[in-house]
Structure 1
Amino acid sequence: MRYDGHRIVVLGAGCTGMLAAIRLSHRTRRTGASVTLVNPEKPGGRRKNGPVA
């Protein structure tokens, strides 16, 4: 596969990283750029889900 567009890597899949990757993919859709989201842990970063007292 031949690829002529830019390759963008977003490090960290926390809230900010996910938002950056989504925005970049929308903004670069017509240019053929590839956006990759990389995170060593599960997506969502430090956000915790659970009951609120």
Structure 2
Amino acid sequence: MQVNQQQGGDSWSQIGVFPLDANAKVSVSDNANGYVIADAIIMDWAGE
């Protein structure tokens, strides 16, 4: 996902909804053809 934070940089950008179990791990990697920069992530309960 590419996001220009100079446009709407004061809001969150949703990258998807993913089902996770109790043992799930989430990571941000630099395995990309460019730059990967993340200063924060948010995880929100979406219900069942």
Structure (1 or 2) with the larger CA radius of gyration: 1
- Fold match by TM threshold 0.5: no
What is the TM-score when the length of structure 1 is the normalising length? 0.25
What is the TM-score when the length of structure 2 is the normalising length? 0.25
Please identify which structure carries the higher helix content.
Answer: 1
Q: Which has the higher contact order (CA 8 A, sep 6+)?
A: 1
Please identify which structure carries the higher strand content.
Answer: 1
